[in-house]
């Protein structure tokens, strides 16, 4: 506490009074991310407005040996932006300036607190396109997206956010100002430190500014909802779509239960004629004349081949939006109606049906008070495994059961050579399970990298590894 008081006094020498918050509601608000598994307990929240201020804050925390938790839009699902042990929360929410947009090299530069949706709309305003997208676009910040190497619905066509980063400005845990790659498209001068920051979850330093690549927008898009007889039809449909659709940009999976929850809780109409075991929501870019007509023919053929049992193809952008909202609303709907434990795993794409089969058998046979509901970016092998409290058990029993079940689920993921975190990161939530996906040798190298960026270990301690 002594050092916190000292920090407050020293911060007051270069920050506005309104840039430091210590009241209980602010500590609670800024002290955690979207998941509720941990209790927020930061000692102070600081809201810098520039890279220089971030650098001064990091230098002070080094001097006073105080732990810092970088905080973006707090939509993270791994407890990465959670302060549970009196840390200082460094919120980026006042660093939301767009710095430049360049039509020649097709880049946008901005501060790290800009929300994803703002980048998409700035790009659109210039006739360009930033394709990374997911449902928290309105509140997740680009800095948080980079620190988690966010994926989303269009990875199948455009890759993860890593693929869109040209340069970064970073304040390392040591307090050094690093300009990583500037605005260069080619630069082979040794290790690319930029990529170490992507997915580093605030453990190496604070990303303060970024330059991103933009591209040409699709002329139009269509979305297609398919009903499938079983999970065994997912892979044949994916192969068929890859062979027949030139510009496939999303291939999203929903189990019946996931769709049903959205339809009943939101009072929506089922777009298909009857219920199916599995649903695939497809997005296709329509870039050439006649491509919409081709689309109808392609899905007619998929029906003839018995890959799908029913289909609806969007005929307007409003209908395309309605179909996507069925997928976008799943997380929010499940979270507001159930006690819920989330996992975000990936397995090699060809293993998906077998993995789903084993996962359901495991939960049904071992945990009768739990239900598992799966949806996700199946075109990338990424499944969001949601465990719901279903039986008459206490919350404590449920959370204990989830912890035990996690070991079994991750052993299954390991058996299929998968990853225990496909896109949400490790944070606090998956930290103790890291060895299911990473070898001891890899973890030791990661620790060495952390020591190089952050020798005193002040950056987000306890996240990724203990
Ligand atoms: C309903 C829902 C749907 C989602 N769908 C997806 C999806 O499809 N794909 C996907 O990838 N994710 C998804 N997420 C997860 C989440 O939105 C992403 O991880 C997002 O990128 C986090 O951004 P944020 O600004 O909220 O970061 P936060 O939650 O604030 O922080 C995440 C991590 O980044 C660190 N961090 C934040 N800002 C910085 C910075 N400037 N410098 C250094 N470190 C920093 C934090 O310390 C923390 O470890 C979803 C979440 C929800 C709730």
- Which ligand 1 atom sits closest to the C-alpha of 160? 11
Q: Indicate whether residue 381 lines ligand 1 (CB < 6 A).
A: no
How far apart, in whole angstroms, are the C-alpha atoms of residue 60 and residue 169?
Answer: 19
Residue 282 Cα, ligand 1 centroid: separation in angstroms? Answer: 24
Across residues 202-223, what is the average pLDDT? 97
Share of the chain above pLDDT 90, in %: 94
What SS3 state is found at 385?
A: strand
Domain ranges (residues) in the chain: 2-91, 98-213, 220-330, 338-424
Q: What is the pLDDT of residue 36?
A: 79
Question: Alpha carbon 136 to chain centroid distance?
Answer: 9
Average pLDDT of the chain is 96
| pLDDT level of residue 136 (50, 70, 90 thresholds) | very high
Q: What is the CATH number of domain 2-91?
A: 3.30.43.10
Closest residue CA from atom 18 of ligand 1 = 76
Residue 1 has pLDDT above 60, yes or no: no
Residue 75 Cα, ligand 1 centroid: separation in angstroms? Answer: 5
Paired sense of beta strands 68-71 and 88-91, if any: parallel
Residue 138 Cα, ligand 1 centroid: separation in angstroms? Answer: 12
Q: What is the pLDDT of residue 262?
A: 96
Q: Indicate whether residue 201 lines ligand 1 (CB < 6 A).
A: yes
Paired sense of beta strands 220-228 and 165-172, if any: unpaired
Query: Could you tell me the end-to-end alpha-carbon distance of the chain, in angstroms, rounded to an integer?
Result: 23
Closest residue CA from atom 8 of ligand 1 = 152
CB count, 10 Å around CB of 315?
11
Across residues 122-137, what is the average pLDDT? 96
| pLDDT level of residue 292 (50, 70, 90 thresholds) | confident
Residue 140 Cα, ligand 1 centroid: separation in angstroms? Answer: 6
Across residues 329-338, what is the average pLDDT? 93
| pLDDT level of residue 327 (50, 70, 90 thresholds) | very high
pLDDT digit string (tens) for 415-457?
Answer: 999 999 999 999 999 999 999 999 999 999 999 999 999 999 9
Q: Indicate whether residue 181 lines ligand 1 (CB < 6 A).
A: no
pLDDT digit string (tens) for 353-375?
Answer: 999 999 999 999 999 899 999 99
Q: 287: which 2 tokens?
A: 């870039």
Task: Give the ranges where 39-110 is alpha helix by DSSP (H).
Answer: 51-64
Task: Find, among 42, 19, 21, the residue nearest to 32 by Cα.
Answer: 42
Q: Indicate whether residue 152 lines ligand 1 (CB < 6 A).
A: yes
CATH domain 98-213 topology = 3.30.465
Closest residue CA from atom 15 of ligand 1 = 76
- Selected from 3.30.70.2740, 3.30.390.50, 3.30.70.1400, 3.20.20.220, the CATH number assigned to the domain covering 338-424 reads 3.30.70.2740
- Which ligand 1 atom sits closest to the C-alpha of 72? 30
Q: Indicate whether residue 113 lines ligand 1 (CB < 6 A).
A: no
Counting ligand 1 atoms within 8 A of each CB, the residue from 36, 75, 206, 382 with the most, and so the one to mutate, is: 75
Residue 189 Cα, ligand 1 centroid: separation in angstroms? Answer: 30
Closest residue CA from atom 27 of ligand 1 = 144
Q: What is the pLDDT of residue 34?
A: 93
- Selected from 3.30.930.10, 3.40.50.2000, 3.30.300.30, 3.30.70.2190, the CATH number assigned to the domain covering 220-330 reads 3.30.70.2190
CB count, 10 Å around CB of 443?
14
- Which ligand 1 atom sits closest to the C-alpha of 460? 47
Residue 2 has pLDDT above 70, yes or no: no
Q: Indicate whether residue 172 lines ligand 1 (CB < 6 A).
A: no
Q: Indicate whether residue 209 lines ligand 1 (CB < 6 A).
A: no
How far apart, in whole angstroms, are the C-alpha atoms of residue 381 and residue 386?
Answer: 16
- Tell me if domain 2-91 and domain 98-213 are identical in fold: no
Q: 306: which 2 tokens?
A: 């018995």
How far apart, in whole angstroms, are the C-alpha atoms of residue 219 and residue 197?
Answer: 34
């Amino acid at each position: 506490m002594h050092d916190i008081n000292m920090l407050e006094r020293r911060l007051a020498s270069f920050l506005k009074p309104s840039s430091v918050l210590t009241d209980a509601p602010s500590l609670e608000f800024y002290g955690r991310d979207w998941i509720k598994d941990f209790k927020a307990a930061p000692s102070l929240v600081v809201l810098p407005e520039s890279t220089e201020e971030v650098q001064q804050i990091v230098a002070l925390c080094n001097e006073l040996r105080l732990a810092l938790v970088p905080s973006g839009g707090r939509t993270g699902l791994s407890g990465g932006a959670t302060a549970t042990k009196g840390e200082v929360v460094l919120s980026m929410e006042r660093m939301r300036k767009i710095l430049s947009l360049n039509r020649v090299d097709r880049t946008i530069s901005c501060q790290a607190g800009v929300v994803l949706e703002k980048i998409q709309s700035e790009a659109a305003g210039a006739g360009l396109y930033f394709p990374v997208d997911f449902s928290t676009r309105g509140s997740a910040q680009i800095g948080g997206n980079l620190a988690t190497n966010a994926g989303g619905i269009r990875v199948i066509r455009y890759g993860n956010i890593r693929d869109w980063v040209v340069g970064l400005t970073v304040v390392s845990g040591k307090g050094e100002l690093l300009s990583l790659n500037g605005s260069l498209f080619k630069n082979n001068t040794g290790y690319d430190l930029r990529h170490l920051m992507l997915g580093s979850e605030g453990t190496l330093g604070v990303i303060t500014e970024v330059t991103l690549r933009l591209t040409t927008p699709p002329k139009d898009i269509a979305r297609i909802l398919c009903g499938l007889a079983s999970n065994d039809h997912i892979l044949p449909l994916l192969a068929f779509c890859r062979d027949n659709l030139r510009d496939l940009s999303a291939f999203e999976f929903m189990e019946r239960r996931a769709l049903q929850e959205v339809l009943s809780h939101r009072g929506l109409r089922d777009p298909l004629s009857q219920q199916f075991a599995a649903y695939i929501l497809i997005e296709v870019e329509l870039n050439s004349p006649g491509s919409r007509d081709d689309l109808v023919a392609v899905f007619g053929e998929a029906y003839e081949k018995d890959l799908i049992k029913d289909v609806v193809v969007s005929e307007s952008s409003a209908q395309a939006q309605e179909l996507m909202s069925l997928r976008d609303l799943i997380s929010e709907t499940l979270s507001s109606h159930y006690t819920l434990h989330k996992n975000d795993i990936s397995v090699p794409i060809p293993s998906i049906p077998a993995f789903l089969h084993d996962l359901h058998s495991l939960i049904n046979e071992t945990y009768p008070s739990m239900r598992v509901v799966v949806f996700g970016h199946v075109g990338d092998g990424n499944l969001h495994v949601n465990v719901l409290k279903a039986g008459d058990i206490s919350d404590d029993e449920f959370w204990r059961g989830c912890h035990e079940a996690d070991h079994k689920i991750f052993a299954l993921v390991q058996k299929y050579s998968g990853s225990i975190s496909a896109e949400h990161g490790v944070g606090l939530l998956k930290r103790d399970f890291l060895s299911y996906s990473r070898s001891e040798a890899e973890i030791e190298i990661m620790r060495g990298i952390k020591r190089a960026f952050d020798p005193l270990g002040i950056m987000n301690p306890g996240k990724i590894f203990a």
